[in-house]
Structure 1
Amino acid sequence: MWNLNTGKYIGKPWWGHHSGVTDIEVTHRADGTPVFVTGTTDSRVRIWNLDTRKPVGKPLNTCFNCTVYGLAIAERGDGQRVVISAVARNFPLDDGSPPATLRIWNLEPGRPLGEPLTPEGDAYHVAVAATTDGDGTPVMVSGGDDRNVVVRGLDTGLPLGGPFTGHTGTISALAVGTREDGTPVVVSGSLDATIRMWSLA
């Protein structure tokens, strides 16, 4: 952790994972406690207290021998704050299990909500983001090796309309925002060397 005013790190490094950290999201719990969430190449997602520097609960195990490629924080329609993990296997298995999954976890007890969601296609890389669409519906947006951007209802996990198509390479990054006119958008970055913006209205 670094002080933005001085450019110096605060305290000692944080330890708690056994392999590389791939993503970090900062948020707060329902009681206002500041926390951050980490994902790694050891298949785990972990929640940390930003003030005490200690882990909150046990690690969330996403799947066997996977990499957490992306995390997103969101609030569902019922007010639950959740973390979404986008996970892909490090190598294919012969047991019929999907190569990539999206999973929604309750941020408070750290428990999964519903069953894992499977992106379309043989995705071994997946990105995720969360926002609300033009109607105010909480949504999550994912993309990966299938080159499509898919919008799902955060409460149901079901796709909302068809995918956004146009990329010719793996989608490696997603971000969400709002244009000056109030239009909610998702921005996608791809290994095809392009960046695209899509309207969620």
Structure 2
Amino acid sequence: MIKDDQEAGPQTPVRFGAQLLPPLGRGRVSKVVCALVDDGRPVALTCDEGDRSVGVWDMGDHRQAGRPIKPRGHDPVWGVAYGELHGRHVAVLVGGGLWVWDLNERRQLSRGRVQPHPPGRREGAGQWAVACTQLDGRLVAVSGGYDCTVRIWDVATATQMGDPLCGHTGVIRSVACGVLHGHPIALTSGEDETIRIWDLERREQIGRPLTGHTGPIRAVACGQLDGRPIAVSGSRDHTLRLWDLAAPDPAGMLLRGHTKAVDAVALTTVAGRTVAVSGGEDVRVWDLRTSRQVGPPLFDGRDIAWVTSLACGTLHGTPDRARGLRRRSGTRVGSAGAPPHRLPRTHADCRRAAGELD
């Protein structure tokens, strides 16, 4: 079971918040994902709310790597995921359909259309969220959206695998993939205030929905804590919950600190410890072994409105966080008591910041 312990062990560094790179682009970014390209370079994939394209950003030099990814036609793009398909680094886009793009050649490999909706389900083809995993030796994508169903796709052919999975009664806002008892699973969360766990091999829900949040759940992430499968969820009820997925009847441990809605969650490992990064009006870091917040909210000195997406990766050997910002409204990120960090504005600044953290 997950415990709120104070056991001795490697301590999570408190020097969170030093921004390594200037902001990526000037648009309104709603989703962000960490990825790789052929030579091993880390990149960030970002969904632009304005033109519904996906930008590819080289995290080493902070420049856009080639032209943005934009499917033909006028279909919107609302979500993006990363995967490796037969040795190719690919981006999977969802919105009015599903598209698979080669990140190195920057060309569309395939496109899938959303099949008819189950009887009694809300009309509307929009897929809002997507995540990739391996199933029976092939890359699959799991998506969810406005018709409240979960869909599994064969990425190689961009075709839907079987009928949609039903259970949610509200729009699905987040999808995460993981492993439970050696089997691939997907977690979905949404406006019905529940999280559901799906067995991807059997194509069925595992157990009862995870309940406890009292508002729409906009974010869920899946990972490991001391060898046990866990999930962390963020809700519009201003809280996060930590779930032990291996427990017979998981009960989410509350993580309090945010004073407004939590719309983004990501997991990573720092100094041997599993940490969660959560975002909304501000960005906070949590040591999941102690269930406590690490340091003050992250603050970079800019006025921004809301963090809608977070992703964790590695840059220069240092765990790094990329984040998506929905819009600007003059609201400062962080609290008045947060120690300010100088915002890098040039590539020389970026290199100096990276050297200070080494």
Q: Is the counterpart of residue 169 in structure 1 residue 215 in structure 2?
A: yes
Rounded to whole Å, the distance in 2 between the matches of 1:12 and 1:145 is 34
Over 3 Å counting, the alpha-carbon distance change for 1:59 and 1:159 in structure 2 is: closer
The equivalent of 1:14 in structure 2 is 69
For residue 20 of structure 1, report the CA deviation from its aligned partner. Answer: 4.2
Aligned to 1:85: 143
Q: 2:187 is matched with which residue: 131, 141, 163? A: 141
Whole-Å separation in 2 of the counterparts to 1:174 and 1:139: 13
Tell me the alpha carbon deviations over residues 132-153 of structure 1, each in whole angstroms, 9 at most, x when there is no partner: 11x1111111121221111111
Q: CA deviation at 1:107?
A: 1.3
Q: Is the Cα contact below 8 Å between 1:44 and 1:62 reproduced in 2?
A: no
Q: Which segment is superposed worse, 48-57 or 60-69?
A: 60-69
Aligned length: 184
Quick check: 1:2–1:10 contact (8 Å CA) kept in 2?
yes
Matches within 5 A, 1:41-56: 43-56=96-109
CA distance in structure 2 between the partners assigned to 1:195 and 1:13 by the alignment: 33
Residues 195, 81 of structure 1: alpha-carbon distance in 2 compared, 3 angstrom cutoff: same
TM-score between both structures, scaled by the size of structure 2: 0.49
Structure 1 position 54, deviation (Å): 0.5
The change in CA–CA distance for 1:155 and 1:127 in structure 2 (over 3 A counts) is same
By how many angstroms is 1:39 displaced?
1.6
C-alpha deviation, 1:19, in angstroms: 4.8
Q: Secondary structure at the match of 2:57?
A: coil
| Conserved? CA contact 2:129–2:172, under 8 Å | no
Partner of 2:160: 112
Q: What is the TM-score of this pair, normalised by structure 1?
A: 0.84
SS in structure 2 at match of 1:119: coil
For 1:20 and 1:110, the matched residues in 2 are separated by: 17
In structure 2, the residue matched to 1:61 is 114
CA 1:8–1:58: 2 relative to 1, 3 Å: same
1:186 matched residue in structure 2: 231
1:91 paired residue number: none
Distance 1:16 1:4 in 2: 24
Asked if 1 retains the 8 angstrom alpha-carbon contact of 2:171 and 2:192, the reply is no
- Segments of 5+ residues of structure 2 without an aligned counterpart are 1-55, 117-122, 247-358
Q: C-alpha distance in 2, partners of 1:178/1:124? A: 27
Please state if 1:124 is matched with 2:135.
Answer: no
Matches within 5 A, 1:29-40: 29=85, 31-40=86-95
What residue is the counterpart of 1:72 in the other structure?
131
Q: Deviations along 1:97-124, whole A, 9 cap, x unmatched? A: xx31110011111111110111332x12
Large movers: runs of 4+ above 6 Å: none
Highest RCO, 1 vs 2 (Cα 8 Å, sep ≥ 6): 2
* Counterpart contact for 1:74–1:83, Cα < 8 Å: yes
Aligned 8 A contact 2:220 2:231 in 1: yes
* Mapping for residues 86-101 of structure 1, pairs under 5 Å: 86-88=144-146, 99-101=147-149
Q: How many angstroms apart in 1 are the aligned matches of 2:175 and 2:224?
A: 17
CA contact under 8 A between 1:183 and 1:199: conserved in structure 2? yes
Cα drift, residue 62 of structure 1: 5.5
Partner of 1:23: 79
| CA distance in 2: counterparts of 1:84 and 1:62, whole angstroms | 14
Alpha-carbon separation, structure 2, partners of 1:16 and 1:120? 29
Q: 5+ residue gaps in structure 1? A: 89-98
SS in 1 for 2:111: coil
1:71 partner amino acid: V
Aligned equivalents of 1:6, 1:185: Cα separation in 2: 34
Aligned position for 1:96: none
Secondary structure of the corresponding residue to residue 142 of structure 1: strand
Which amino acid counterpart does residue 83 of structure 2 have in structure 1?
Answer: T
